[in-house]
Structure 1
Amino acid sequence: MASQVIFILFVTLPVVLCSPHFGGLEPEANQSSIRFLVVGDWGGLPNAPFITPIEWATAREMGRTAEQLGADFVLALGDNFYYKGVKSVDDPRFQETFENVFTAKSLNVPWYVVAGNHDHAGNVHAQIQYSKMSQRWNFPYYYYELNFDIPHTDATLQVLMLDTVLLCGNTDDFQDGKPSGPESSVLANRQLLWLQERMHSSTADFLLVAGHYPVWSVSKHGPTDCLLKRLRPLLVKYKATAYLCGHDHNLQYFKESGVGYVVSGAGNFIDPDMRHRNSVPRNSLKFFTGKSSTLGGFAHMEVTDKKLTLTFIQARGTSLYRTVLSKRNL
C-alpha cells in the first residue's frame, strides 16, 4: 500500500528538483551575486544556413556580455528550434543552431531550457534527452525547479521553469492564433498544482517564474488569456519577483501589481508590432523595442542579497533599459 501511495503522489504531482550552485561552477572569490542571461525565441532556421543574422549577432553579444558582466547560467525560454522543433536526440539541429552558434567560452555555462510552441510541433522529449548528450544543456523535465544560494550572503534565488504549452495549449504563429486550450487537462492541472505548491512553500528572497507565453504583451500575440486566468493570480498572491518569457519577438518590460514582467523574445527575429498596446493595464508598460537596427537582444540579470537588476542589451552591444526589483517582502 505504501508503495502505491508514493506512486500516485508522483503521478499526480511530479516534482523535479534541481538545486545547482552555479551549475557546478565555483563563484569568484569576491563574487557576491548571481548573474545570468535570459533569451527566448532564438531557434534559427530549419534549412541552411540554419541560423538568422539576428541569432548570430545575439549569440556574439551574449558571449561578450557574459565575459564582461558575468553569467553563471542562461535561461533559454522556448522556440529553441524553428519551425518544428527537433525530430530526435540525434537531430543535427542541436549542432547547427545551438552548439555551433553559441561558441563563446563565456557561454560554456549551464543552459536551463523550456519548450515553446514551435518545440512542441516536434519532439520535446528529444530535447529533454539531449541533456544527457551535452554538458551545458539542462532540460530535466517539461517543468522544474532551480534553487541558488547567492554567494557570501544568506539570500536565495528560486526559479520555477514552466511549460506554458502544456498549460494553455499550442498555437499557430502564422495564423496569429491564441492557445486553444491544453491537449490534456490532466497534465495542465498537474503542472498548475505543482506550481502552486512550490510558490506557496517558497521562502526565497527572489522568486522568478519563467515560461514561453507572455502574461502581458503589447505585440503581435498580446496578453495570454489562459495565463491571465491561471498564472497571474499566483504571481500576485505569492509575491513573485518577476515572470520571464518570450514568444513575441522583441524586448518588453511591465510592472503590474508589484510583479515585473519580462519579455525577452528577440533572439532570432525582431518585430516592432505594438498592435496590443491598449490590451495591457494603463501605465504598466515601462519599456519596449522591436527595432530591426538593434539586431536582436536579450536580458542580463544580476541578483544580490538586496536587489535584482535587469538590463536589456541589444545585439549591437549597448544597454537599452535598466531597472531594479526589490527582494520579496514575506
Structure 2
Amino acid sequence: MALTLISILVAAIPVAYCYPTAFQDLEETSANRTSIRFLALGDWGGLPYPPYITAVQKVTAKEMSNVAEQMGADFVLALGDNFYFKGVDSVDSPRFQDTFELVYTAKSLKVPWYVLAGNHDHAGNVRAQIEYSHKSDRWTFPSYYYELNFHIPNTGKTLTIIMLDTIMLCGNSNDFVDEKPRGPLCVVDANRQLMWLQERLARSKADFLLVAGHYPVWSVSEHGPTECLLQRLRPLLIKHNATAYLCGHDHNLQYIEESGVGYVVSGAGNFLDPDVRHWNHVPKGSVKFFTGQASTLGGFVHAEVTNNKMILTFFQAKGTSLYRTVLSRRVFE
C-alpha cells in the first residue's frame, strides 16, 4: 500500500527538477572538426575563509587552462563540492567570485561550466547555485538534475551526458560519523529522479552515453563504493550500455572498469588524498589507475569524443599526463 501511494505521488507531482531535452550548441564548429572535447573536475571548491582558494586549486586551474588551450575544451563538467565547506547561502555570495570567477580566468576556460551539486553544496543553498546561472556567462546549472545532448561535429554521431544529484538520490553524508549517505531527505524526490533517469536511459540512442554525479559508484579511497548507487544506478548503467560514469567525492584520480562501463573519479581539484582503504571493496582487477599523491599538486580529466571512440586522459597539475584509456562507441543490437 505504501509503495502504491508513493508511486501515485510521484506520478502526480510535476517533474520540476528536470530539464527539457535540447541539443547544445558548440561555440566553435569548423568544417574540418570531428570531435567534442571537455574537462571533468570535482571537489574544486576552495575554502570558506581568505584567500578562499587552496594551492592545489590554483595550480590545477593553471594546468587546466594549459590543457584546454593545447588540446581543446568545449566545456567543463563541474562534478560537485563547488564551495567548501557549506556551499553558498545566496546567489549574491562573494564565493562565486572568490572561488570560481577569479580563479578560472584563462580565456581557454571561458567556456560553459556544466555544474552539479555535491554533499558540501547541499549543506548550503543549492537553489542559489542554480540561480547563479542567470548571473554568469559560463556557469550553467539549470536544475538539480538535467540532460545535455551534443552533435559531434561533422560525424552524424551524438553525445549525451546525464547530470545527476546523487545527494538527492541517496542522502547527505556526515563527515564526522562514517561519511556514508544516510538515505534521501525526501523519498518522493529521490524516486522522481530515479524514474526520470530510467526513462532517459531507456530511450537514449546516443552514440556515447555518459552519466555524472558527485558520489562514486566504485572507489578504492576513503569513501569507497556508494551502496545506494550500487543498488540503484549501477544496474541501469549496465542495462543501458552506458559508456562511463564520472564523479568526484574522493579527492584523487581513479579509473575503474567493470561490466563494460568506465568509472572515472576526478576529485583532485582542491585537495589530495592517497587513501586506498577500500582497494579490496571493488571487483578484483577492475582498478586500472589511481593517484592521490601530494606530489601531483592536483588533477583533472580531459575527454575527447570522436565518431567512434572516447579518449580519457588523466592529468596531474604539475604538467604531465598520467594515464590514458579509450572507450568504444555504444553498439545497438
Same fold per TM (> 0.5)?
A: yes
* Structure 2 residue aligned with 1:317: 319
Where in structure 2 are there 5+ consecutive unaligned residues? Answer: 1-9
Partner of 2:22: 19
5+ residue gaps, structure 1, are 1-6
Mapped to 1, the partners of 2:107 and 2:69 lie a distance apart of 8
Matches within 5 A, 1:227-306: 227-306=229-308
Contact 1:250 1:272 in 2 (8 A): yes
Contact 2:80 2:119 in 1 (8 A): yes
RMSD: 1.4
Q: Closer, same or farther in 2 for the Cα pair 1:108/1:12, shift >3 Å? A: closer
The alpha carbon displacement at 1:175 in A equals 3.4
1:55-96: CA deviations, max 9, x gaps? 001100111100000000000000000000000000000000
Per the normalisation by structure 1, the TM-score is: 0.96
Equivalent residues, number: 323
- 8 Å CA contact retained: 1:13, 1:190: no
Q: Is the 8 A contact 1:77 1:212 kept in 2?
A: yes
* TM-fit CA distance, 1:35: 0.1
8 A contact 1:13–1:194 mirrored in 2: no
Instruction: Determine the C-alpha separation between the residues in 1 that align with 2:74 and 2:246.
Output: 17
Report how far residue 27 of structure 1 moved. Answer: 1.8
TM-score normalised by structure 2 residue count: 0.95
**AA at the equivalent of 1:143:** Y
How far has the Cα of 1:8 moved from its partner?
6.2
Distance 1:41 1:306 in 2: 30
Q: Is the 8 A contact 1:142 1:162 kept in 2?
A: yes
Q: Tell me the equivalent position of 2:5.
A: none
User: Among 85, 89, 93, which residue is 2:95 paired with?
Assistant: 93
C-alpha offsets along residues 280-321 of structure 1, whole Å, 9 cap, x if unaligned? 000000000001000010000000010000000010010000
- Of 43, 46, 49 in structure 2, the residue corresponding to residue 47 of structure 1 is 49
Give the AA of the match of 1:11.
P
Task: Return the offset for 1:28.
Answer: 3.1
Task: Report the Cα distance in structure 2 between the residues aligned to 1:29 and 1:66, rounded to whole angstroms.
Answer: 20
SS in 2 for 1:199: helix
The whole-number CA distance in structure 1 between the counterparts of 2:279 and 2:40 is 23
